[in-house]
A = this chain, B = another copy of it.
Amino acid sequence: MRGNTFGKIFSITTAGESHGGAIAVIVDGCPAKFKLEAKDIQKQLNRRRPGQSNLTTTRKEADQVEILAGLSQKITLGTPILMIIKNKDARNHDYEHLKNIYRPSHADFSVEKKYGIREWRGGGRASARETAARVAGGAIAKKYLKLKLNIKIYSYVEQIGPVKAVVQEEDISLTKIENNPIRCPDPKKAQQMIKYLEKIKKQGDSTGGVIRTVIKNTPLGLGEPVFDKLSADLGKAMLSINAVKGFELGAGFASASMKGSEHNDLFHSDSNGHVKTKTNFSAGIQGGISNGQDIYFRVAFKPVATINQKQTTVNTKGESVKFQGRGRHDACVVPRAVPIVEAMSAITLLDHYLRQQCYR
Contact = CB atoms under 8 A, between A and B. Distances in A.
A21 B286 contact: no
A236 to B, nearest CB: 4
Nearest to A231: B239
Contacts of A205: 259-261
A343 interface: no
Contacts of A224: 1-3
A218 to B, nearest CB: 11
Stoichiometry, as copies per complex, reads: 4
Given A3-B225, A226-B240, A267-B313, A307 B260 contact: yes
A213 interface: no
A3 B306 CA distance: 39
Interface string A7-27: 011010111110011111010
A220 B253 CA distance: 30
Interface in A27-76: 28-29, 31-33, 66-72, 75-76
A190 interface: no
Contacts of A124: 72, 77, 79
Interface-centre pick from A81, A82, A207, A290 (highest chain B CB count, 10 A) = A82
Given A2-B80, A318-B275, A114 B221 contact: yes
A21 B67 contact: yes
A247 interface: yes
Contacts of A33: 115-117
Contact of A300 (B114, B245, B256): B256
Interface residues of A, number: 154
A182 interface: no
A305 B259 CA distance: 9
A349 to B, nearest CB: 14
B24 A26 contact: yes
Contact of A125 (B161, B226, B258, B262): B226
Given A2-B9, A105-B282, A354-B358, 19 more contacts: A3-B223, A15-B79, A15-B81, A17-B70, A21-B66, A76-B117, A77-B125, A109-B286, A114-B289, A115-B221, A208-B256, A227-B236, A229-B239, A232-B236, A235-B239, A245-B252, A246-B247, A246-B253, A268-B320
Report, nearest first, the 8 A-B pairs whose CB atoms are least far apart.
A107-B287, A3-B224, A3-B228, A21-B68, A206-B260, A114-B221, A246-B248, A78-B115
